[in-house]
Amino acid sequence: MKRIFLFYIVSVLIVLLGCGEDEKIKALQEEQRQLLSQKDSLLKRQSELEKSSDLTLVSDTVKAGNGLFQVLERMGLSEEERRLIVLSIQDSVELSKMRVGQKFHALLDGNKKVKVFRYEENPATIHLLFKTDSGFVYNRPEKTIVRKHSIFEGSLAEGSTLDGTLRSVGIPKHMVGVVSGVLQCKVAFQLAQPGDKFRILLEENFFEDSIWISGKVLYAEFDGKTVGHHEAFRYEDPDPKSSFNAHYTETGEALVFDGLRYPLDRLHVTSAYGSRIHPITGQRKVHHGIDYGSPTGTPVYAVAEGVVTLSGYDNLSGNKISIRHRDGSSSWYLHLHTRAVSQGAHVNARQVIGRVGNTGRSTGPHLHFGFKDEKGRWINPSKKTMIATPKLEGERLARLKSQAKAIRESLTETAAVAPQKAGDSEVLVRIRKLQ
């Protein structure tokens, strides 16, 4: 009994240090029950644990540009153990989807060998590796996830940004960027006017009804006086990893992965595209891009998914990055303080690729943002709103249409809807209306 208890203490220690929040105790107890149910193998591992009295816990989190290997290296694990951990976890975890802020914990024995390794993909998805005689054994304790559907309606407020308006109707702040990304694929927001209407259907997953884990936009609608009426539907392929999982118009035109995002969080144009007197040379010249004034160190995002074709330095442009997109066009980011991606790297939309700086021929910290069309000619970046992509066809288009129909039906249920069951997860529908 004493032996089991010791292991229990050790496990609770790992788990508590991993989360450190009271509301997770219930789930942790469930995790413990599962662990304790594997009594025989645990007894063996626990006797190993007893031999070394000086256990230490090391923790780290994923930082920008890190892979698992870098995190493990920083945690001080030997090359051999890093290799074993990657091998033992790679079939159960999508390592390419590691995100900044995710936590890792390793319990080390007196010889600095890993006894237990823990990776928190999110509060509800925890991956554990236990060291046994035959190597690391993988375990994933199951937790409860609650799924909620919410409808948000509103109209653009006078003098408010799109993101500000989306926040004001109650869209959670971690979803605002996703929602505006979907809308920006279709709507030229420079032309949107106060009073233009929008309607959003969100699906969000919560751990124990309160801790937000993930969310997606099932539907986004915008109805503007000058920009017109637009709708975007989320398409779900039978294969959850399919690159077709994205937003489309009802006729199958792809939206979200191909819509251009903004390169900075705050846009302050200091020099527009076109003919101008150059601030340093004094000559009249065409300015092949847009200058955004921004403090040194501000994160710069890729405006669309693509491949880095250039990451380097020259005396005029300073640190510069170019990304080629799927339709052959390319986006250009100049005068960067630092570059976070190298040539050949694949980047996602909104991925941080560097920081605003004042390198090269520049009079102050700013981002020069340029765009070339598929033939390599400079174009005005503000005229480009999306990357052309193939449409959904055949079976996929038929599936999109039936999914869009189901989404439309759920939108017309304007009264509060009682909780429903969908598979194993509870579905709550709450409707929120403003204005």
What is the binding site for Zn ion (CB under 5 A)? 289, 291, 368
- Comparing CB distances to Zn ion, the nearer of 61 and 296 is 296
Nearest to 84 by CA among 72, 70, 96: 72
Least distance between Zn ion and beta carbon 290 (Å): 7
Least distance between Zn ion and beta carbon 293 (Å): 11
Rounded Cα gap, residues 162 and 174, in angstroms: 14
- Can you tell me whether residue 177 is helix, strand or coil? helix
At 278, list the tokens.
Answer: 């150059």
Rounded Cα gap, residues 41 and 157, in angstroms: 61
Nearest to 305 by CA among 331, 283, 280, 281: 331
- Comparing CB distances to Zn ion, the nearer of 291 and 305 is 291
Rounded Cα gap, residues 99 and 77, in angstroms: 21
Least distance between Zn ion and beta carbon 366 (Å): 7
- Comparing CB distances to Zn ion, the nearer of 63 and 285 is 285
Residue for token digits 């010791």?
Answer: 6
Name residue 432's amino acid.
R
Name residue 131's amino acid.
K
Least distance between Zn ion and beta carbon 291 (Å): 4
- Return the DSSP state at 160: -
Least distance between Zn ion and beta carbon 369 (Å): 8
The runs of H, that is alpha helices, within 20-145 are: 25-37, 39-51, 68-74, 79-89
- Comparing CB distances to Zn ion, the nearer of 280 and 422 is 280
- Comparing CB distances to Zn ion, the nearer of 45 and 368 is 368
Sheet holding 56-61, edge to edge: 56-61, 103-108, 114-122, 125-132, 135-139
Strands 145-155 and 425-432: parallel
Buried b (16+ CB within 10 A) or exposed e, 32-56: beebeeeeeebeebbeebeeeeeee
Least distance between Zn ion and beta carbon 386 (Å): 23
Judge whether 223 and 198 are in contact, CB under 8 Å: yes
Least distance between Zn ion and beta carbon 381 (Å): 11
Strands 330-336 and 318-324: antiparallel
Residue whose CB is nearest to Zn ion in the complex, by number: 368
- Comparing CB distances to Zn ion, the nearer of 231 and 291 is 291
- Comparing CB distances to Zn ion, the nearer of 110 and 274 is 274
- Comparing CB distances to Zn ion, the nearer of 252 and 289 is 289
- Comparing CB distances to Zn ion, the nearer of 224 and 381 is 381
Least distance between Zn ion and beta carbon 62 (Å): 34
| CB-based contacts of 111, cutoff 8 Å, min separation 6 | 52
Sign of the Cα pseudo-torsion (326, 331, 332, 333, in order): negative
Least distance between Zn ion and beta carbon 185 (Å): 26
